[in-house]
Chains A and B, each alone.
Chain A
Amino acid sequence: MPINTANMATMKEAHAKRLAAIKKRIIICAGTGCVSNGSMKVFNEFESQIKAQGLDVVVEFKPEEKSYDAYISKSGCQGFCQMGPLVTIQPGNIFYTKVRQKDVAEIVEKSIKGDGLVDRLLYLDPNTKKYATCKEDIGFYQKQMRVVIRHCGFIDPESIDEYVMVGGYTALVKALEMGPEKIIAEIKAAGLRGRGGAGFPTGLKWDITRKVAGDIKYVICNGDEGDPGAYMDRSVLEGDPHSVIEGMCIAALSMGANKGYFYIRAEYPLAVDRVEKAIRQARQKGFLGKNILGSDFSFDLDIRLGAGAFVCGEETALIASIEGERGYPRPRPPFPSVSGLWGKPTCINNVETLASVAEIINKGSAWFSALGTEKSKGTKVFALTGKVKNSGLIEVPMGTTIREIVFNIGGGILKNRKVKAIQTGGPSGGVLPEKYFDTPVGYEELQNLGSIMGSGGMIAMDETDCVVDIAKFYLGFCVDESCGKCAPCRIGGKQMLTILEKISHGHGSLEDLEILQRIASAMQRASLCGLGQTAPNPVLSTLKYFREEYISHVVDKKCASGKCKDLCNYEINQTTCKKCGLCLKNCPAGAVVGSKQDGYKIIDAKCVRCGQCFEVCKLDSVMIT
């Protein structure tokens, strides 16, 4: 059957016409970060202020054609979460940060009615002390390359018209013309690998599922982003849900699947809501359902929610969860591509992987494979957080070095402290010291160092973070989340955690380090699923790179970072202390005594080791001994 794109052309034309009749467009970031900072209040304030100043404003287009002075729309996460709420004004792409309700009247006056700027709301570069008028002038954005999150922060995620206008669903049209073999060949040639962490070649996965005989096959989008410190998938689902739907349609087409599921964490209500809306719109416009765009390809989608179990990110556990069971992993083989959901061939791809697909089909495999390193192609979205100055959501070509990410995009470490390490890959990943910061990010590159790419959490740590504490944190997470089915993970994790507790309380010995290593290796080899196999990674990588720190915990019984409270004392350096008294003012335990004349000291017996004095001292005169 011929592919009918008339509907798309009409949508595109109508929306372009609507936008052409707008004088100013105000885009307000409606990612979870900005919403929690009050961006919806800012949104409403814009609407009422613009009306109050006698202008015509629209927030939702009506069928009749009409011109307006201003159009206010929401966008997905723009990445610069800590500077939110973010507001962009077009034309000119004026970029305002930390916009509060009270600032709105002035913005309307200057930038909506006129073409002026409100300087104080522009981003002030802390290094150059210059104001940036648009995103392109800001270091955080300059060094990025946005492919997966290309639309986030720009289009209205709740409008399918807008998605189509910026070229959405054209890849689906192209894919329908190409047919399954060509699609798979293209994805293989692009070198796209699973962005959920394991890095399995996507084209190959599709090909395997395609070759398994079966009249019913499933495509599943894995949106169970459980890694603490990662929110890439949430941002894509919230900011550009149609790109994932389009990717799923193309995947289904390539392997002959007719039914798909989104599996999304219940902790992400906004993402669920946006995906639900997007599915409804796509169905209504003929991109989902029977005979998509007039072709003989039929495919439909449904949503299933997680219920707070990290292990459900593992594909066989995820399948069990969609089936309405406990999320227990199953031994593989058989792999899901042979026997998955309800025993049928099933292909599971991560959100980010699926969001890359349309762009590859549109721009071609050669364009995609030109980006990145030899084995890791394309771009990767990272959630850059922890102790960096600019934390947020970023996307860079594979092969960018950790140093570039932390210092050029992240702007360096907070309070200009010394960087200690970077953690990648969440609880399954490792902690890498600064000497490896020139490593280009890629699947093999990180794996060779004992970490993993994972889903894309990247957490910077400074000298006040203790590696034993970090290892304990991640292991504690895995112990909580272990489903308990297999003994190595259930017992091994718990035992390792007990030993780490012992070490952080000063009761550890050198022998304990050997035992940790032994249990870790047993867990890696004998656990049933990825959770147990990778849970020891944070412990192993810290033991490998920060062994001296472990030794000072077990031999000298000292924790230099001040995190293990039983192993540190606080003291005031009398020679550098300027006697300002901030430590006394902030001490919750009354352990600081003295006066502005005589100086201050800490009474060890009263000290609760909360670290407040250390945090507030501007001269670093509080020492951890």
Chain B
Amino acid sequence: METDNFTENISKVVKRWKNKEGNLIMVLHQVQSLYGYVPRGAALEVANQLGVPLARIYEVITFYHLFKITPPGKHNISVCMGTACYLRGGSRLVDEFKKALNIEEEQTTPDGEFHLQIVRCIGCCGIAPAIVVDDEVHGSVKTEMVKGIMEGIASKETVHAN
């Protein structure tokens, strides 16, 4: 993806935000929603088009947890470790996913399929413990449900392939 020509995509984003004050974070959000992370080429392009130093852009990207500078896995599994989820067994879910995927937290499987991360409270405390799989929230998750959730991701994929 690094070889993409970012100019056109970024100019669309920049055009919308250029004249607004304090636009950098909003621009980066949009870049990330296009690519799943902020590729270096895109950051360079944002720097050029917004007229801010590249260092400023990386200063912001590295401060905020949500911005990523490496490509995410194809499927993203976020296990909530907010207080309610933690007390109701969130860490056991983390262990179960680690076992199932054979990776550590904040890692991506070697084939690039799955990324496992820990998030601090997604505001679903009423249905703790909760996880987010590709933007879909699952509540009251038990360790024995992990296998089914993984199968669910796989089966969705076959549907798409068909």
- Select from chain B the residue with minimum beta-carbon distance to A312: B64
A36 in contact with B130 (CB, 8 Å) = yes
Residues of A within 8 A of B101 (CB): none
A391's partner among B22, B128, B135 (CB-CB below 8 A) is B128
Q: Does B25 contact A (CB under 8 A)?
A: yes
Binds B, one of A20-28, A100-108, A316-324, A332-340: A316-324
User: For residue B67, which residue of chain A has the nearest CB?
Assistant: A307
- Check B137 against A82 for contact (C-beta < 8 Å): no
Interface residues on B, range: 35 or more
B84 touches A391 (CB 8 A): yes
Partner of A457, one of B21, B66, B83, B92: B83
Instruction: Kindly identify, within residues 552 to 567 of chain A, every residue whose CB is under 8 Å from any CB belonging to chain B.
Output: none
Knowing A267-B122, A480-B120, the reply to whether A33 touches B86 (Cβ < 8 A) is no
Q: Report how far A393 CA is from B127 CA in the complex, Å.
A: 11
Query: In this assembly, does B23 line the interface, its C-beta being within 8 Å of a C-beta of chain A?
Result: yes
In the bound complex, how far is the Cα of B96 from the Cα of A79, in angstroms? 30
State which of A32, A33, A308, A321 has its C-beta within 8 Å of the C-beta of B65. A308
- Does B110 touch A at the CB level, under 8 Å? no
Q: Are A322 and B83 in contact (CB under 8 A)?
A: no
Q: Are B127 and A84 in contact (CB under 8 A)?
A: yes
Q: Do the beta carbons of B128 and A477 come within 8 Å of each other?
A: no
B47 part of interface (Cβ distance < 8 Å): no
Docked CA distance A386–B67 (Å): 30
Interface residue from B22, B67, B87, B125 paired with A465 (Cβ < 8 Å): B87
With both beta carbons as reference points, the residue of chain A lying nearest to B136 in the complex is identified as A36
Most A-side CB within 10 Å, residue of B64, B65, B82, B126: B126
Does the CB pair A307–B126 fall under 8 Å? no
CB nearest neighbor in B for A387: B87
Cα(A42)–Cα(B139), bound, Å: 16
A240: Cβ under 8 A from any B Cβ: no
Whether B60 contacts A325 by the Cβ 8 Å rule is yes
Q: Which one of A84, A230, A323 contacts B22 once the chains associate, using CB atoms below 8 Å? A: A323
Say yes or no for B150: interface residue by CB 8 A criterion: no
Residues of chain A contacted by B21 (CB below 8 angstroms): 323-324, 342
0/1 interface trace, chain B 9-41, chain A, CB 8 Å (1 if under) = 000000000001111111011000000000000
Q: Given A35-B137, A386-B84, A321 and B121 touching (CB < 8 A)?
A: no
Encode contact with A along B115-158: 1 for CB under 8 Å, 0 otherwise.
00001111111111010000111111000000000000000000
**Which of B22, B123, B139, B140 is in CB contact (< 8 Å) with A231?**
B123
A258 close to B (CB within 8 Å): no
Q: Hey, which chain A residues are within 8 Å of B87, CB to CB? A: 386-387, 459, 461, 465
Report A-chain residues with C-beta under 8 Å of the C-beta of B65.
307-309
Within 8 A of B (CB), among A242-256: none
Partner of B127, one of A36, A304, A307: A36
Which one, A204-212, A220-228, A528-536, A617-625, is touching chain B?
Answer: A220-228
Q: Tell me whether B123 and A268 are in contact (CB under 8 A).
A: yes
B83 CB contact (under 8 Å) in A307, A342, A385:
A385
In the complex, A386 Cα to B90 Cα: how many Å?
12
Residues from chain B with a CB closer than 8 A to the CB of A423 are 83
Residues of A within 8 A of B59 (CB): 326
Residues of B within 8 A of A35 (CB): 137
Indicate if the CB atoms of A228 and B126 lie closer than 8 Å. Answer: no
Residues in chain B near residue A461, CB distance under 8 A? 87
Complex: chain A residue closest to B83, CB-CB: A229
Residues of chain A within 8 A (CB-CB) of B29 are 266, 305, 307
Q: Are B83 and A32 in contact (CB under 8 A)?
A: no
Q: Are B126 and A229 interface neighbours, CB within 8 A?
A: no
A385-B64 in contact (CB<8A): no
Q: Tell yes or no: A426 within 8 A of B by CB.
A: yes
Given A82-B127, A307-B66, A325-B60: A459 touches B83 (CB 8 Å cut-off): yes
- Bound-state CA distance A244–B120 (Å) is 25
The A455-513 residues at the B interface (CB cut-off 8 A) are 457, 459, 461, 465, 473-474, 477, 480-481, 483
| Bound-complex Cα distance A333 to B46 (A) | 34
> What are 7 pairs between A and B in contact, CB < 8 Å?
A234-B123, A267-B66, A324-B22, A324-B24, A385-B128, A423-B83, A465-B87
Q: List A residues at the B interface (Cβ < 8 Å).
A: 32-33, 35-37, 79-82, 84, 225-231, 234, 266-269, 302, 304-310, 321-327, 342, 383, 385-387, 391-393, 423, 426, 457, 459, 461, 465, 473-474, 477, 480-481, 483, 610
**Residues of B near any A CB (own CB < 8 A):** 20-26, 28-29, 59-60, 63-67, 81-84, 86-88, 92, 119-128, 130, 135-140
Beyond the given A225-B123, A226-B121, A267-B119, could you list 8 further A-B residue pairs with CB under 8 A, ordered by the A residue number? A32-B137, A81-B139, A84-B127, A231-B121, A307-B65, A387-B88, A393-B126, A473-B83
- List 7 tightest A-B contacts by C-beta distance, closest first: A81-B126, A307-B64, A36-B137, A228-B82, A308-B65, A229-B83, A231-B123
